[in-house]
């Protein structure tokens, strides 16, 4: 049961959160800001716990809305405690909000350690997570899920992590958050493209069901390839070091998935394949920043 609970929170998705937070911290080092390692680690833990809250609450919302059911959606490839009847909605909500409570406690500690702006940033992140899957009115069910994910994993999480570890806000960090935000948004869109038929039957309105398959795959391609083009622009503007050009190593994977999507041959593991690009991009970005720091 413990193993099922751990798998139900989708721990593999935390690699995206870790990639955003660690990238922001490493960028702070590159810019020469003083970094509080203790607060940096707490920011990482807090972000992961907030992501866990969102994942469990999303299971609750999708179950209540009839999106997740036996043989449909995520219940095919991972434990879904509500669909399986292993836990009730009250227990899932308890897991979800307990995770959020610990994350909020960590945020308050960081705030009272001289980082007061963590409070409004954290509140915004919590509200985005809560409103993402709230039954009927949630962003996910009204074609706003991708926008919410971009804001949460891009500007809020990236800039919030940067500020929590340094005590400073830097416009360059805000600008640098966009490529990861775009890539993680592409993961959600890939999931929604794969589930167009199932979501249509459930009568929920995602961006993919609204745009249709062809236009959704075009937006998906723009997000993937646009994130790489944006990174090159950041290098040209000296927001990122020249070493960050190594992030273009994700280009062959991005082109391959783009071709696959545009051919309308959507694989069952479309979103995990997209998530691998996020992981690789994060590793390459962090590595490039470390190389630039060592060469200073």
Distance CA 160, CA 119 (A): 10
pLDDT at 71: 61
Q: What is the pLDDT of residues 114-169, one digit of tens each?
A: 999 999 999 999 999 999 999 999 999 999 999 999 999 999 999 999 999 999 99
Distance CA 272, CA 13 (A): 9
Closest CA to 271 of 212, 211, 195, 158: 195
The whole-model pTM stands at 0.93
Domains of the chain: which residue ranges? 2-295
Q: What is the pLDDT of residues 33-85, one digit of tens each?
A: 999 999 999 999 999 999 999 999 988 888 888 776 666 656 565 667 777 77
CATH, domain range 2-295: 1.10.600
pLDDT at 78: 64
Mean pLDDT along residues 268-286: 94
pLDDT at 64: 83
Q: What is the pLDDT of residues 195-245, one digit of tens each?
A: 898 888 878 899 999 999 999 999 999 999 999 999 999 999 999 999 999
């Amino acid at each position: 049961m413990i193993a099922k609970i751990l798998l139900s929170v989708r721990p593999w998705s935390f690699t995206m959160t870790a990639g955003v937070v660690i990238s922001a911290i490493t960028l702070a080092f590159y810019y020469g800001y003083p970094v509080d390692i203790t607060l940096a680690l707490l920011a990482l833990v807090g972000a992961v716990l907030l992501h866990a809250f969102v994942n469990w609450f999303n299971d609750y919302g999708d179950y209540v809305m009839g999106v997740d059911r036996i043989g449909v959606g995520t219940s095919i490839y991972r434990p879904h405690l509500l669909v399986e009847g292993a836990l009730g909605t009250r227990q899932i909500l308890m897991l979800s909000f307990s995770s959020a409570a610990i994350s909020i406690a960590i945020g308050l500690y960081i705030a009272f350690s001289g980082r007061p702006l963590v409070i409004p940033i954290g509140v915004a992140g919590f509200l985005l997570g809560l409103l993402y899957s709230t039954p009927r009115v949630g962003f996910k069910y009204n074609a706003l899920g991708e926008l919410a994910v971009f804001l949460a994993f891009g500007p809020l999480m990236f800039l919030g992590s940067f500020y929590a570890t340094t005590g400073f806000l830097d416009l360059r960090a805000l600008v640098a958050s966009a490529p990861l935000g775009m890539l993680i948004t592409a993961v959600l869109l890939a999931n929604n493209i794969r589930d167009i038929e199932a979501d249509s039957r459930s009568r929920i309105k995602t961006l993919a069901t609204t745009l249709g398959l062809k236009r959704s795959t075009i937006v998906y391609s723009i997000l993937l390839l646009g994130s790489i083009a944006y990174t090159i622009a950041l290098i040209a503007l000296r927001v990122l070091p020249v070493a960050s050009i190594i992030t273009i190593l994700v280009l062959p994977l991005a082109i391959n998935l783009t071709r696959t999507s545009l051919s309308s041959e959507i694989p069952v593991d479309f979103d995990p394949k997209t998530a691998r690009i996020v992981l690789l991009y994060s590793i390459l970005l962090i590595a490039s920043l470390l190389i630039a720091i060592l060469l200073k």
